[in-house]
Chains A and B, each alone.
Chain A
Amino acid sequence: MGSGKMRAFLLIVVLFAGCGNMNDLNPSGSDKRPPEQPGTVGPAVGQNAPNFTLFDTLGNNFTLSSVIPSNQGVVLYFAMEWCPICEGHLDNLRTSVIPAFPNVRFYVVDYTCASVAEALSWEVAAGYTGSGFIVLADTQQSVLNLYQATMGTTVVMDKNGVVRMNEDYKDGTRLQAILANLP
């Protein structure tokens, strides 16, 4: 193997290994979550959950602050329509989580719909009618932005309106652990 060619190829390798987002591949592994800021309003864990109002798929007004006090906890799951990852998460939510926590209310925030009617159409087509969660139509993506959420983000609030979780659903294990420890 020609040493000159090998050196040239290795140079290319090194150049590519040193670019892009490589720093993100080697996080310290230490916990970098910011300290909680109780008493402030925001989407981070420990903050008071920002209030919002949306329509559900039946056209009813849903206001977060009105359901929090009467339940042990409230869960928001942010979903795109027609998304296999979301479908997997919602299957898990329906079969493993919702039945285990009858005192918690579950809401799916559809942030890719343009109207309540479209969100309803998706809910029906995906077979989510009567599934134990209520679909909310975030037509302006205002709640998506309010909670700094993206596809699969799961937010848990306790009965005092304090955010207890705001991260990806993954396999639902962490969600269940947090719900089990709600006061």
Chain B
Amino acid sequence: MNKFIFTAICAALFTGAACYLSLPAFAGSCCGGGGGAALVLPKMYQSMVDVSFDAEKYEGFWSPQGVYTYAPVGYQYRLNAGYGLRLAQNWQASISVPYVWNDNQYSNGSTHSSGIGDTTMNLWYEALEDRSAWKIRSMRDLTPSVTIGPSILIPTGISPYDNKTSSYDITGRGFYRFDANVLIAKTIHPWTASVSLAYGTYLQRPVDREYGKYVEPYEKKLGDRSSAAVSLGYIYYVDSAGDTLTGTVSLSTLREENATINGKRQPESGFQKDAYGGTIAYSSTDSDWIIRISWNSAVRRSGWGNNFPATEIYTVGVSYGFR
């Protein structure tokens, strides 16, 4: 994987990540907190640090029937810290931890709270490598990069089952989740494209309190979730030295099935969200910095989501790779 594919995958992953937010979602906090995006190392790096800042603007919601309704604005801000480490030639691992600020404004007041969100850890295997051809001369030049691996969402955030008494304070979902992930990316200069797919299942857990109040214990499991994101990018060479600006557009979809309590399915607890976005990333050939800005927006129309907040997310991020 090279830098170009890194930026394309960034776009797909960050668009997808915009979908990975929690549902108590706006359980008070406008958007629910949640895990940061996965970090995937370009081939030439031994490790990488990534820091990004998201501003998420709540602009309504889809009802359980999929009807979009505009609602007064709320905000959530996240500082995401990620670290990726190459473990072997084709193996790498990464961790991403968000810190969440909830800024809820209603007509009769406002609340402000913050806390760590849910942590995401990935293990990646680079199954195929893309040579990023300038011109197709053989079938080998058509080979995409394929990266596969599991990830785990660790519920380090504040969930409805902790000792916080208000839904305004939620920064995580309170459940472990295991995902299987596939990233496919291809660059034929100056174009680059990627597809990311994920399927995840939550672990069932006992619950004995809700928003700080002890309740009759029960077993709860959130529904399985599937997500997909595609991106298409164009690489623009800023100068002869090889500095590039990569512009990428992306589409993503996320679905989560209904949760169960004591094995009984909970109607209208699942959700769906479709979103689109764009990323501009700058990288230079003689430096190991990559700077990006992203925008992601829910499709704020009926039928493009259900039972979920519709938000816009603005992201500024910077990565530094260690060779």
A residues lining the B interface (CB < 8 Å)? 1-2, 5-6, 8-9, 12-13, 16-17, 19-22, 24-34, 80-85, 87-88, 91-92, 111-115, 118, 139-141, 148, 150-153, 166-168, 170-171, 173-174
Contacts and interface: CB of A to CB of B under 8 A. Distances in A.
Contacts of A166: 213
A25 B106 contact: no
A167 B116 CA distance: 25
A153 B165 CA distance: 11
A87 B307 CA distance: 9
Nearest to A111: B108
Given A84-B307, A139-B108, A29 B206 contact: yes
A91 B268 contact: yes
Counting contact residues on chain B (CB < 8 A from A), the size range is 35 or more
Interface string B63-84: 1100001011000000000010
8 contacts: A2-B88, A16-B154, A24-B163, A25-B205, A31-B214, A112-B108, A150-B211, A168-B215
Contacts of A171: 261, 264, 266-267, 269
Given A16-B95, A27-B206, A32-B209, A1 B88 contact: yes
Interface of B: 24, 26-28, 60-64, 69, 71-72, 83, 85-88, 91, 93, 95, 97, 106-109, 116, 119, 121, 154-163, 165-168, 172, 174, 176, 205-217, 261, 264, 266-269, 271, 307-309
Contacts of A8: 85
A20 to B, nearest CB: 4
Contacts of B28: 80, 150-151
Contact of B214 (A20, A25, A33, A170): A33
B61 A83 contact: yes
A30 B208 contact: yes
A151 B167 contact: yes
A47 B214 CA distance: 15
A92 B71 CA distance: 22
Contact of A167 (B109, B154, B215): B215
B119 A113 contact: no
A115 B106 CA distance: 12
Listed residue (A8, A17, A88) with the most chain B CB atoms within 10 angstroms of its CB:
A88
B213 to A, nearest CB: 6
Nearest to A12: B95
B93 A9 contact: yes
A182 to B, nearest CB: 17
B167 A150 contact: yes
B174 A24 contact: yes
B261 A84 contact: no
> Could you say which of A20, A92, A114 has the most chain B C-beta atoms within 10 Å of its C-beta?
A20
Which 5 pairs, one residue from A and one from B, show the smallest C-beta to C-beta distance?
A82-B71, A20-B156, A114-B107, A112-B106, A88-B268
Contacts of B212: 148
